[in-house]
């Protein structure tokens, strides 16, 4: 299993909470960027991929023509003909029907829409450029364009959010064509607008935990499986590209700020659009190759995020050798004894009560 991630580092404007790498208002660099992207992709000519994920930033900002151009270019040098899944992210304000049709025609099978909330006040206060009506309309349009797999991102703990407003958002989404929901807890990250100007109406950690657990309950009652810490899907509609991350799999990331995991090495491009355009091949800013023990611990930490699938220690022993797994196993046993993990045969899982405090478990697992 090998994934391809393509980063589109453009936005109309940065949202107040966002710390992903993207540039607001630099669309004039789009053509140069696409050229640089293909230069970087050329480096990996011949590699074939099972999943594709176009994320951002705001990929829907590309528009139909640029998207088609980019997809043609990538398919020209990378093996994308047997994709099991191809996702693109879209924001309600830029996802035109023309764009959605072009995406479908380019082989994109899955749409991830940045809904965030269906409460207009919450959306405004977070710096979103769309309202609830536009978000629901985008979902309908996507469905109308033939997308069967539609995911919605929502944020738990937005300024002004209440149990009631969150429930309303969830209710509308579960009655829409959405088949997958990613629910992220708001955290105030350095360098964001929220960090510079802390908003009023923020929730406490306790309130946020309550809200998240409410969301998890609600979605479960409506047929969604809580398959990863922040992700819910109708049966069979999990995101395969992301599943590959959580299973410790390999992937190539293209674009500034994109991370890769290839041939055992993790590396990352510098988050700098200008530099990337000038020299897309000289952009690596971090790299590491983990030893077996750290690799194991990392994979355990990632796999335990998968609440249903969990961590199969027998499978790890097969791949890494029984001797190498010993120390990890001892830690898992200790955590199980403390009630922080549950065990079923050779499979370990994070119990529901530990989801919101899972870092406490993971810090015990890493070296």
Interacting residues toward another protein by CB under 8 A: 5, 20, 55, 182, 184-185, 187, 205-206, 208-210, 212, 229-230, 242, 245-246, 251, 253, 258-261, 266, 268, 286, 288, 298, 301-302, 305, 340, 355-360, 362-363, 366
**Beta carbon of residue 271, minimum distance to another protein (angstroms, whole number):** 10
**Beta carbon of residue 28, minimum distance to another protein (angstroms, whole number):** 26
> Considering beta carbons, is residue 106 or 112 the nearer one to another protein?
112
Answer for the pair 266, 260: CB distance below 8 angstroms, yes or no: yes
Q: What single string gives the DSSP state of each residue in 153-177?
A: EEEET-TT--HHHHHHHHHHHHTTT
**Beta carbon of residue 64, minimum distance to another protein (angstroms, whole number):** 25
**Beta carbon of residue 205, minimum distance to another protein (angstroms, whole number):** 4
> Considering beta carbons, is residue 184 or 320 the nearer one to another protein?
184
> Considering beta carbons, is residue 120 or 272 the nearer one to another protein?
272
> Considering beta carbons, is residue 16 or 246 the nearer one to another protein?
246
Which residues are registered as beta bridge partners of 86? 52
**Beta carbon of residue 367, minimum distance to another protein (angstroms, whole number):** 8
CA 289/CA 295 separation, integer angstroms: 9
> Considering beta carbons, is residue 71 or 156 the nearer one to another protein?
156
What separation in angstroms does the CA of 59 have from each of 52, 91, 129, 335?
13, 8, 15, 41
> Considering beta carbons, is residue 57 or 92 the nearer one to another protein?
57
**Beta carbon of residue 210, minimum distance to another protein (angstroms, whole number):** 8
Tell me: cis bond preceding 203? Omega within 30 of 0 counts.
Answer: no
**Beta carbon of residue 125, minimum distance to another protein (angstroms, whole number):** 19
Task: Tell me the residue ranges of DSSP E strands in the chain.
Answer: 2-8, 10-11, 23-24, 51-56, 85-90, 110-116, 149-156, 180-185, 225-228, 231-233, 250-254, 259-262, 265-269, 284-289, 311-312, 342-344, 347-349
**Beta carbon of residue 196, minimum distance to another protein (angstroms, whole number):** 20
> Considering beta carbons, is residue 1 or 302 the nearer one to another protein?
302
Q: What single string gives the DSSP state of each residue in 128-143?
A: -S--HHHHHHHHHHHH
**Beta carbon of residue 50, minimum distance to another protein (angstroms, whole number):** 15
CA 132/CA 92 separation, integer angstroms: 9
Task: Tell me the residue ranges of DSSP E strands in 179-319.
Answer: 180-185, 225-228, 231-233, 250-254, 259-262, 265-269, 284-289, 311-312
Which residue shows structure tokens 């364009």? 145
Answer for the pair 334, 264: CB distance below 8 angstroms, yes or no: no
> Considering beta carbons, is residue 53 or 134 the nearer one to another protein?
53
> Considering beta carbons, is residue 55 or 310 the nearer one to another protein?
55
* Residues shown for the chain: 367
CA 259/CA 272 separation, integer angstroms: 13
Fill in the DSSP letter of residue 252: E
């Amino acid at each position: 299993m090998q994934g391809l991630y393509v980063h589109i580092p453009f936005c109309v404007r940065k949202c107040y909470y966002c710390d992903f790498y993207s540039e607001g208002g630099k669309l004039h660099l789009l053509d140069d960027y696409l050229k640089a992207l293909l230069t970087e992709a050329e480096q990996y000519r011949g590699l074939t991929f099972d999943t594709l994920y176009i994320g951002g930033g705001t990929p829907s900002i590309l528009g139909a023509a640029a998207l088609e151009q980019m997809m043609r270019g990538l398919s020209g040098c990378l093996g994308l003909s047997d994709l099991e899944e191809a996702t693109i992210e879209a924001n309600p304000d830029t996802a035109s029907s023309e764009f959605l049709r072009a995406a479908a025609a380019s082989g994109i099978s899955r749409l991830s829409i940045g809904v965030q909330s269906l409460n207009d006040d919450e959306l405004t206060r977070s710096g979103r450029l769309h309202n609830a009506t536009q978000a629901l309309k985008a979902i309908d349009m996507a469905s109308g364009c033939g997308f069967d797999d539609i995911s919605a991102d929502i944020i738990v703990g937005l300024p002004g959010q209440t149990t009631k407003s969150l429930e309303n958002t969830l209710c509308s989404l579960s009655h829409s064509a959405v088949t997958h929901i990613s629910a992220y807890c708001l955290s105030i990250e350095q360098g964001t607008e929220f960090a510079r100007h802390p908003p009023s109406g923020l929730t406490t950690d306790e309130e946020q935990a309550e809200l998240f657990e409410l969301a998890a309950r609600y979605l479960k009652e409506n047929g969604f499986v809580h398959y990863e810490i922040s992700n819910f899907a109708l049966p069979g509609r999990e995101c395969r590209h992301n599943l590959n991350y959580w299973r410790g799999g390999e992937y190539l990331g293209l674009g500034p700020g994109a991370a890769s995991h290839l041939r055992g090495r993790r590396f990352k491009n510098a988050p700098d659009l200008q530099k990337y355009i000038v020299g897309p091949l000289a952009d690596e800013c971090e790299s590491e190759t983990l030893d077996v023990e750290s690799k194991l611990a990392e994979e355990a930490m990632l796999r335990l995020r998968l609440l249903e699938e969990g961590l199969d220690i027998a499978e790890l022993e097969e791949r890494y050798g029984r001797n190498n797994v010993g120390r990890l196993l001892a830690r898992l046993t200790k955590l199980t004894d403390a009630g922080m993990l549950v065990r079923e045969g050779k499979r370990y899982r994070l119990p529901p009560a530990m989801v919101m405090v899972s870092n406490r478990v993971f810090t015990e697992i890493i070296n």
